[in-house]
Amino acid sequence: MKALSQKRRHPLAAVALLLLGLMLTGGLYAVATTANQAKAATTYSANDVQEGGKLFIANCATCHGMGASGSPDGPSLVGVGAAAVDFQVATGRMPMQAQGPQALQKPRQFNDEQTHELAAYVASLGAGPAIPEAKYTDGGGDAANGGVLFRVNCAMCHNAAAAGGALTRGKFAPALAGVSNQHIYEAMVTGPQNMPVFNDANITPSDKRDIITFLDTIEATGSPGGAALGSLGPVSEGLFIWIAGLGVVIAFTVWLTSRTS
């Protein structure tokens, strides 16, 4: 007992306990944060990585630097994952035509195989969000729950009808109609442009699937009330009605008084 008591009073005992506690906490956190992560839908070969590296050097290194370590003209891509590459390249946002407040969607410059190889190369540089499994992008989730989640997390920028909206300094949240389910999922986990990252600890893969299902539903349903007036929302639409309605009343009044005179 005396020997055990002396060991507890050893100067390094507190340090050892602290390290043990940190290791235990870190291990539990890692388990908790990866429990709900969507698994990768694709695997990459050494040849994919090699060919992707060649494409990267020829087309991307000018801005993102050799080894994708970043430069004054482009951020580092180490750790962004395959999902970020697939989203940016497959939608034509990258490579950018010119520096600006936001990368614009345009016709893609790389085919599916080249996009796959670029994603493989960037994925090899560091762990990051992977391209999701098809079961999370099949549109078979709960649309009602997805609508609640969308209005809480997304509607302030993308509009309650997913019609998009203006942001600051020339930036904007794009409309989501016509965007593939895979790209919507990838945008949520990578946070392109001004969009925040919704990792699996914020919104689980199942909830992301519900959001995608909601977007598919409203796109297929359209506007049951008639003309959507751009889906600008009740305030803007109400203001339009007031201005147009008053304009018609004033115009009719002017016409009527001119007739009587």
49 touches 124 (CB < 8 A): yes
Intervals of the chain under pLDDT 50: 4, 32-36
pLDDT of residue 35: 42
For 134-231, CATH number out of 3.30.1060.10, 1.10.4080.10, 3.40.640.10, 1.10.760.10 equals 1.10.760.10
Tell whether residue 116 is among the known ligand binding residues: no
CATH topology for 46-125? Answer: Cytochrome Bc1 Complex; Chain D, domain 2 (1.10.760)
Which pLDDT tens digit goes with each residue over 47-78?
Answer: 999 999 999 999 999 999 999 999 998 999 99
Tell whether residue 60 is among the known ligand binding residues: yes
Sign of torsion over alpha carbons 221, 224, 226, 229:
negative
CA dist., res. 84 & res. 62, Å (int): 18
pLDDT of residue 10: 60
CA dist., res. 215 & res. 176, Å (int): 8
Tell whether residue 154 is among the known ligand binding residues: yes
- Tell me the pTM: 0.75
Q: Which pair of tokens denotes residue 9? A: 């009073």
pLDDT of residue 43: 79
CA dist., res. 234 & res. 256, Å (int): 32
- The residue among 137, 109, 42, 30 whose CA lies nearest residue 81 is 42
Which residues, 6 or more positions from 5, have their beta carbon under 8 angstroms from its beta carbon?
A: none
